[in-house]
Amino acid sequence: MGETLKRVLRHLPAVLGLMLLGGAIYVVQKEFRNLKIEDIARALEAIPTRTLAIAFLWNLLSYGILTFYDRLGTYYAGRSVSYGKVAFASFCAYSLAHNLGFAAVSGAAVRYRLYAHWGLTPLQIAKVVGFCSLTFGLGGMVLGGIVLFFEPEAVPFFGAWLPLWVMHAFGGLLWAIVAGYITLSRLTRGRMLFGHEMDLPGWRMAILQVLLATVDVAVTAAIIFTLLPQAHGLTYLRFLGIYVASYTAGLAANIPGGIGVFDTAMLVGLSPYLEPPQILGSIVVFRLYYYIIPLFLAGGLFAGNEIMLRGRSVLRPAPVPRIVPPATRWSEPDFVVAAITGAVSICGALLLCLGVVEHRPDFSWIDPDFAEAAAEASEFVPSLIGGALMVCAAGMAQRVTLAWGTTIGLLLLAAAFTVAQSEPLWIPGVLLLAGVLIVPFRSAFYRHARLLSGPIDGAIAAPLLMLAGCILALAAFERHVRWLADNSWWEVVLSPAVPNSLRASVAFTVVLALLALWGLLRPARVRFLHWGAEARLRYAALGAIPPAEADGIVWGEAERSGIPFRRMGRVLLGIGDPAGAESDCISAIWRLRDLARQEGLDPAIWRAGRTHLEVYADLGLAALPLGANGLPLEDCEHCDEPNAIQYLVCKAERDLSNLLPLLPKLALAEAAQA
């Protein structure tokens, strides 16, 4: 029962994100079906230049306040860092986190990369990351409590049907959490906080932290409030309730930038006051100011910083840093794989939602023999490609080569189809741009898909046949059923005007096709060999010395390399780099990561060498230098950095404090074996 619950909880964020995105699509399809691009364009043109300038100033102030999150975080960690460096790290981290989702994770990777170069120790960086991750939540709780007490009806979806006492009770709970945090900071130190080993800040810093976060959320909301036209009854406090609820929903969805979920919640919350084109026009400018422009600036600044560091390392030997951050090249994994995955997801969402915006393609220029077929497929086929791109994005996040190639092909196909449909030129332009940007990064996707990882057996043949059958069935639906002419597949499924049998058939076929596609793209389920005589012999045959203790050994995809491992609390700890054929070592590392995810654990490697540090970095793991005895080298803030050859690689912000006390036991067991 416990293992089942763990598996359910592990997939809960993804399921929640899909549910929220599905709900957003349904609401927009139902409530805003007659939106037109022309109306949104006119709403954008109606925004005064003075309003745009004021909103931009609010945007600058918002990012300026965010820099003080890191400033306070470095004080809390006990290490003074100049404001210029802190501001640079904060801007890069938050620009990435805002756009790519999973804010705590993506922001942590950037902070580890930068703060490590500035001499902070692993535990100090973990404290900064934890402090910044917590701060935003405190501000949202304070403002959320204010809204729930004074303007509860402003909260989208809930304010209209939940009793007033429930809204007040929830607001009181939010305030109680903040008050409890400050009280604990005043009364005690060194407590566990939300499952993380970290000391609470002093009560004065906790109060400052809460005030800073509250002002930050209020200022960020002011950006979009400024862009909205004046509307009777829409006060700033009411808008604040809509904004906080919408932003929270976007975060909960774990979708890049909260795309779709945040926007839909804003549309629903503001619909009593403004017309949809006015709302969407303001959201477009907000996303440009708060998301897109900062992302490009941060990417350029971060890349320039990395180039400068490399230049210095060429001119003089660079000391090995105390902690090797989880990104040894600026483009991986944060600004390439994560950005590409997010871009592909957005392209998929765009194709899925083409039918939401009213547009009737003109096929008069096409040969009459093909015009009818093109009209029938006008929205149905692009929506299918959009669903397939969503699946490919998941495969690309796993670094699967076949997903990379399939994505490029689908983007080109979608671009050609939208051109043939006479869609606005920016739509095929976006699709082509995404495809062109993906092509140069083939080397970042080096994992074999399940389809190509071995001989074609039943496990591969079944999804292949299933996918082929679903494609033929959908082609038959498309050709013979007029209901599908101007609708995407999900509109057919949701439309009460379509016969139930057809709705069920389309839904079943599309879902089955997407599942079959994922079954072919994803890596196979990882199996391991339990530690025993056979495992010892096979590991020794690879030319390695078997460890004194292990729970099992995981093999590479070709079974020509392997890593023994131990389960230690919430960590699946590999013992040393993979041994065996070099060509199979990278897949062994990834399979160790996949096995850890299957079991709900975090991956880590003890006594990792320098050869595969970049691969460990791709997994988001930071590296702590070890001495010859397998124990961490002592921090030395005012002396030369140690020249380490072995490392402990782990998710430092989550697991380092738990692993450090266990390393002496591992070292003693190793010494006893020797």
Q: Other CB atoms closer than 10 Å to residue 396's CB: what's the count?
A: 28
Amino acid at 619: L
pTM: 0.63
- Length of the chain, in residues: 674
* Predicted pLDDT of residue 329: 38
Q: Are 549 and 566 in contact (CB under 8 A)?
A: yes
**If the chain, 674 residues long, is cut into consecutive pieces of 10 residues, what is the mean pLDDT of each piece?**
52 55 58 64 86 93 91 84 87 77 58 76 76 79 83 70 80 87 74 52 84 90 92 87 83 68 83 86 88 78 64 44 42 58 80 60 46 50 84 83 90 86 79 86 75 63 75 64 59 69 76 81 80 91 88 87 92 92 85 86 90 76 81 55 73 79 82 68
Q: Are 565 and 571 in contact (CB under 8 A)?
A: no
* Predicted pLDDT of residue 314: 42
Please state the separation of Cα 330 from the chain's center in Å: 17
**Tokens for 345?**
């997801």
Q: Are 365 and 488 in contact (CB under 8 A)?
A: no
3-state secondary structure of 579: strand
Q: Are 320 and 641 in contact (CB under 8 A)?
A: yes
Q: Are 199 and 189 in contact (CB under 8 A)?
A: yes
508-540: burial string, b at 16+ Cβ within 10 Å, e else: ebbebbbebbbbbbbbbebebbebeeebeebbe
- Report how far residue 90's alpha carbon sits from residue 96's, in angstroms, rounded to the nearest whole number: 10
According to CATH, the topology of domain 529-673 is: Aminopeptidase (3.40.630)
Q: How many CA atoms lie within 13 A of 543 on its CB side?
A: 8
3-state secondary structure 584-610: HHHHHHHHHHHHHHHCCCEEEEEEECC
- Report how far residue 127's alpha carbon sits from residue 73's, in angstroms, rounded to the nearest whole number: 7
End-to-end, the C-alpha distance of the chain in Å comes to 41
Distances from the Cα of 672 to the Cαs of 546, 549, 573, in angstroms? 13, 11, 20
Please state the separation of Cα 20 from the chain's center in Å: 15
Least Cα distance to 157 among 63, 92, 252 occurs for: 252
The string of DSSP codes covering 363-411 is -TTS-HHHHHHHHHTTTHHHHHHHHHHHHHHHHHHTTBHHHHHHHHHHH
* Predicted pLDDT of residue 377: 47
* Predicted pLDDT of residue 669: 76
> 13 preceded by cis ω (within 30°)?
no
Please state the separation of Cα 142 from the chain's center in Å: 26
- According to DSSP, residue 452 is labeled G
- Report how far residue 626's alpha carbon sits from residue 616's, in angstroms, rounded to the nearest whole number: 16
Sequence-ordered list of residues with C-beta below 8 angstroms from that of 27, at least 6 positions apart, any chain: 264, 267, 268
β-pairing, 622-626 vs 571-575, is unpaired
β-pairing, 571-575 vs 602-608, is parallel
Q: Where are the domains of the chain?
A: 40-315, 337-521, 529-673
> 333 preceded by cis ω (within 30°)?
yes
**Tokens for 634?**
């002592």
The string of DSSP codes covering 629-652 is TSSBPPP-TTSPPP--SEEEEE-H
